[in-house]
A and B are shown apart, each in its own frame.
Chain A
Amino acid sequence: MSRDSRRTLFLVASVGFAALFLWGLAGLPDFGGYDGVYGETLNRVALRQRHATNLVAAVTFDYRGFDTMGEEYILFAAVVGVAILMRAQRDEEEDTPDDDARDRLTPRTSDAVRVLGLGVFGPIVLFGIYVVAHGHLTPGGGFQGGVVLATGVVLVYLAGRYSALRGITPGASAELAEAAGAAGYVGVGLLGLMASGTFLYNWLPFGTTGLLTSAGMIPFINLFVGLEVAGGFVLILTEFLEQTLVVREVDSGGPEGKRERDRS
């Protein structure tokens, strides 16, 4: 279809689509008037049942923990997918990273940026671990904390060089972290199965509300999710960076060839 006929077709259809959507939305209770039975019940009982002050975490990792396991594996599948799609092809080879190459195009990062990056890296990692660990108490948890941890790693590249990034995540460590996190979640579920007969049963003692060691299994699940998310995002990052900075086509002969392709 030509561009115009495609657009016209869509615009006509979108009127019908929007009308349908708005008709459906009109049947919802007023904004701000939520009174659904699921949320109400959980707001009443979750604190007492699980000693977790962050009810969102209780829902994510306990009541609906099975869905979260599925979501975690979607992340896993997406990351493995990126690794598969970016894998080395027959006519490619690896070269020195662009930012290490002698004929690099962009200027080196300034010393100020590097010092700042070095200074901030530690606190960010610490903050990430804090967010992961306190997921059942305050807003946060494995997903958010894992992303913060991955950000720390990104910072090493942004403030420094690609080889520094590879230095702190050697070999398959990111992949290992990711796989360990994914397997860990299922492992926790199986432990629940063995301990009390149902998969993902929260069998650890619930402890005192408000302490780090409360809410049973939830902190451990948070840990595994944080590990997986951090590993996953670092893996995605290194794959993309490798693709841009390191991989070259064999017949185009090194950085010149890459610049040729970038210009076209």
Chain B
Amino acid sequence: MDSLTPLPLAVSLLGAAGLTALRGVLGRRVFELAAVAVSAAVALLLAALLAASIEAPIVYWFGDWTPVDGVALGISFVIEPLGAALATLAAVLVTASFVFTWRFFDNAEHLFHVLMLVFLAGMVGFALTGDLFTLFVFFELMSVSAFSLAGYKTEEEGSLQGALNFAVTNSIGAFLILAGIGLLYGRTGALNLAQLGEALAGAPPDGLVITSFVFLVTGYLVKAAAVPFHFWLADAYATAPTSVCVLFAGVLSELGLYAVARVYWTVFDGAFAGHLPALRAIVIGLGTLTALVGAAMCFPQRHIKRLLAFATVSHVGLLLIGVGIFTPTALAGTLIYIVTDGLVKASLFFCTGILLHRLASVDELGCDGLGAVMPLTRVLFVLGGLGLAGLFPFGTYLGKSLIEDEAAVLGYPWVTWVFIAASVVTAGAVLRVAARVFWGVGPGDAYDIKSEAEGDEVQPEGSRGGSGSTPASMWAMAALLIAAAFVSGLIPQLAGRVEVAAEHFVDRRAYADLVLAGVPPPEVGLPPAESSFKGALIGLASAVAAGMIAAAGLWHMRLPRTITRGATALLGPPFARLRALHSGHVGDYVAWLTVGVAVLGGLMAVMMG
């Protein structure tokens, strides 16, 4: 089983190169079939590795360079359940995207599939590696493929600008990571995560350790799109092809958070353990800010993809809170939330793709009522909204309740309210869209808060826009993903099993022993099954509240004058300022990025220096 480890990566890379070489020769259908086959094979291999890693983590040294006396000469893959789960999710979403775009790109655009396979390889390598520089290399690989994929629709002006903003900000994030790696290498002479952790443990953190942590975390958070590094996300999502958005929302941003957790728990835990409460406060604060800003920007959007993009930002904030609690249970909750929420968002993006395909528009107001011809998509979209809210049995309720309970135990009871607020507002926005587009509910023209980004200039992504019925390849994928999210909350003892994996994830010393000396980690027993009744109740309440918010969004003209006038006076100016900040100008984004690094560094210096 161990020798399977390099295969997912090798298969996708070889597949990409091979398809490039053969693209002149293979017919279109054979080509697309081959692409699906490659990504499906990768998904199966990863699933097998995931199953094996649940038994015992796998450590694989490339070139057979096993460590000597605690010094790692080569590069390792460390396959454990959390990373393997994310890699499997990525492969599943890529396969689903290929099926979704079956016969979609009609003018021999084979390079799209090639780039997606390279993108997949980047994500797989990123999630499985145990070396800090390899983490950077695959970060770059993911990013570079993503830049071109985001700018794929070259005839749309917004698409190119979005890709440019994406490329510039993420490249700066990558350079920050490299600077952080350089600093750590200068101090410890190591690039292997376990070896770094051993070298840094025991000594209190000084300027170099803090600065490298800030640089590394900032770089990963740029990818994850936490505030104030999030500006590029809405631009890129709004204009990238649908199947690409599915991957971005479903797994790309979440991988950034995974990296933060991975790097902290293997490298920095030894140094920062004494300052954990301060670090916790900083990260939870950042996550809260992201969740609230994302939700606030999400609701007024009329461009459906941009709306979903900001919903993603908001949920990234919630995930960041989960990571920032720094306990294994919270980490378990975060992983469950990542996977289930990722499936829901992917399904929503697929539905949006169906809208684009049938109606040639993703403008909420432009599509008013036109969605009635798509009854199945209607159902799937509403289910997606409910999944975002955390309704039982979508697994999202389980992930959220784990995080909320941990936060309350550690003295942050208000986190529950942040979760509720963000979920309610984002789900409410999605339900509002569903009501307006698929049922024609609500007045067509009375829309106070105007967002300048309208969804009408979006170009259809294939040649057969406006056709009579939705192809089965499209709605099947959307349905499959939402169904998977739906049943995930019913898996017995899911929370317990993931918690076991999380316990191993946070044990720095055991990780180092495993990687550098081959010592298997200690057994952790399955925790007793706890009732998540409270979580389910919160989920139900959130779903209902989301429905009410959606209604308010649709019929706010009918609310009493005093309320609307008061709300506009109170919320109008700050909202307008917030929306003005999202200017689409890359210089602004980079300025805010610098502000974010400086503030984060300053906070850490003050609380720990």
Q: A residues touching B (Cβ–Cβ < 8 Å)?
A: 1, 6, 9-10, 12-17, 20-21, 23-29, 35-42, 62-67, 69-71, 73-74, 76-78, 80-85, 87, 89-90, 172, 175-176, 178-180, 182-183, 186-187, 189-190, 192-193, 196-202
In the docked arrangement, what's the CA distance between A176 and B118, Å?
17
B residues 1-55 near A (Cβ < 8 Å) are 3, 5-6, 10, 13-14, 16-18, 20-21, 24
Do B191 and A66 have beta carbons less than 8 Å apart? no
In the docked arrangement, what's the CA distance between A27 and B200, Å?
13
Q: For residue B179, which residue of chain A has the nearest CB?
A: A21
Task: Find chain A residues with CB under 8 A from B583 CB.
Answer: 1
Task: Provide a sorted-by-A list of 22 A–B residue pairs whose CB atoms are within 8 angstroms.
Answer: A16-B599, A20-B602, A24-B212, A26-B207, A35-B189, A38-B185, A38-B190, A64-B75, A67-B137, A71-B137, A73-B13, A74-B141, A76-B118, A77-B144, A83-B111, A84-B151, A175-B20, A186-B10, A196-B64, A198-B61, A198-B62, A202-B63
Given A16-B602, A20-B597, A74-B141, answer yes or no on A85-B151 (Cβ-Cβ < 8 Å): yes
In the docked arrangement, what's the CA distance between A13 and B210, Å?
18
Q: Choose from B63, B137, B183, B588 the contact partner of A198 (Cβ within 8 Å).
A: B63
Given A80-B114, A196-B64, answer yes or no on A67-B121 (Cβ-Cβ < 8 Å): no
The DSSP consensus for interface residues of chain A is: helix
Q: Is B470 an interface residue (CB 8 A)?
A: no
In the docked arrangement, what's the CA distance between A186 and B189, Å?
29
Which of B211, B590, B592 counts the most A-chain CB atoms under 10 A from its CB?
B211
Which of B20, B75, B111, B131 counts the most A-chain CB atoms under 10 A from its CB?
B20
Do A193 and B6 have beta carbons less than 8 Å apart? yes
Given A10-B591, A183-B14, A199-B10, answer yes or no on A66-B134 (Cβ-Cβ < 8 Å): yes
Given A74-B144, A172-B24, answer yes or no on A63-B118 (Cβ-Cβ < 8 Å): no
Q: Is B209 an interface residue (CB 8 A)?
A: yes
In the docked arrangement, what's the CA distance between A190 and B16, Å?
15
Q: Choose from B118, B183, B214 the contact partner of A28 (Cβ within 8 Å).
A: B183
Do A85 and B154 have beta carbons less than 8 Å apart? yes
CB distance from B187 to the nearest CB of A (A): 7
In the docked arrangement, what's the CA distance between A14 and B141, Å?
28
Task: Find chain B residues with CB under 8 A from A15 CB.
Answer: 598
Task: Find chain B residues with CB under 8 A from A21 CB.
Answer: 179, 211
Do A85 and B186 have beta carbons less than 8 Å apart? no
Given A1-B583, A23-B605, A36-B188, answer yes or no on A179-B21 (Cβ-Cβ < 8 Å): yes
Q: Choose from B68, B137, B590 the contact partner of A70 (Cβ within 8 Å).
A: B137
Do B3 and A197 have beta carbons less than 8 Å apart? yes
Do B10 and A24 have beta carbons less than 8 Å apart? no
Q: Is B125 an interface residue (CB 8 A)?
A: yes
Q: Is B601 an interface residue (CB 8 A)?
A: yes
Which of B62, B73, B131, B212 counts the most A-chain CB atoms under 10 A from its CB?
B62
B residues 565-609 near A (Cβ < 8 Å) are 580-581, 583, 585, 587-588, 590-592, 594-595, 597-599, 601-602, 605
Task: Find chain B residues with CB under 8 A from A37 CB.
Answer: 71, 189-190
Q: Is B419 an interface residue (CB 8 A)?
A: no
Do A64 and B601 have beta carbons less than 8 Å apart? no
Apart from A24-B183, A27-B187, A193-B6, what are 11 other A-B pairs with CB-CB below 8 Å?
A1-B581, A14-B594, A17-B601, A29-B187, A63-B63, A66-B63, A70-B138, A76-B17, A198-B63, A199-B62, A200-B62
Given A84-B115, A202-B63, answer yes or no on A182-B13 (Cβ-Cβ < 8 Å): yes
Q: Is B248 an interface residue (CB 8 A)?
A: no
Q: Choose from B21, B63, B148, B191 the contact partner of A38 (Cβ within 8 Å).
A: B191
In the docked arrangement, what's the CA distance between A28 and B3, Å?
39
Contact-size category for B = 35 or more
Task: Find chain B residues with CB under 8 A from A26 CB.
Answer: 207-208
CB distance from A189 to the nearest CB of B (A): 6
Task: Find chain B residues with CB under 8 A from A187 CB.
Answer: 14
Q: Is B327 an interface residue (CB 8 A)?
A: no
CB distance from B515 to the nearest CB of A (A): 15
Q: Is B456 an interface residue (CB 8 A)?
A: no
Task: Find chain A residues with CB under 8 A from B73 CB.
Answer: 38, 41-42, 63
Q: For residue B604, which residue of chain A has the nearest CB?
A: A20
In the docked arrangement, what's the CA distance between A40 and B68, Å?
13
In the docked arrangement, what's the CA distance between A35 and B592, Å?
37
In the docked arrangement, what's the CA distance between A23 and B604, Å?
12
Task: Find chain A residues with CB under 8 A from B155 CB.
Answer: 89-90
Interface string of B114-152 (1 = CB under 8 A from A): 110011011001000001011001101100110110011
Task: Find chain B residues with CB under 8 A from A20 CB.
Answer: 211, 214, 597-598, 601-602, 605
Task: Find chain A residues with CB under 8 A from B119 CB.
Answer: 77
Q: Is B102 an interface residue (CB 8 A)?
A: no
Q: For residue B119, which residue of chain A has the nearest CB?
A: A77
Do B141 and A87 have beta carbons less than 8 Å apart? no
In the docked arrangement, what's the CA distance between A241 and B21, Å?
22
Q: For residue B5, which residue of chain A has the nearest CB?
A: A199
CB distance from B95 to the nearest CB of A (A): 19
Q: For residue A89, which residue of chain B has the nearest CB?
A: B155
Q: Choose from B112, B134, B187, B190 the contact partner of A67 (Cβ within 8 Å).
A: B134
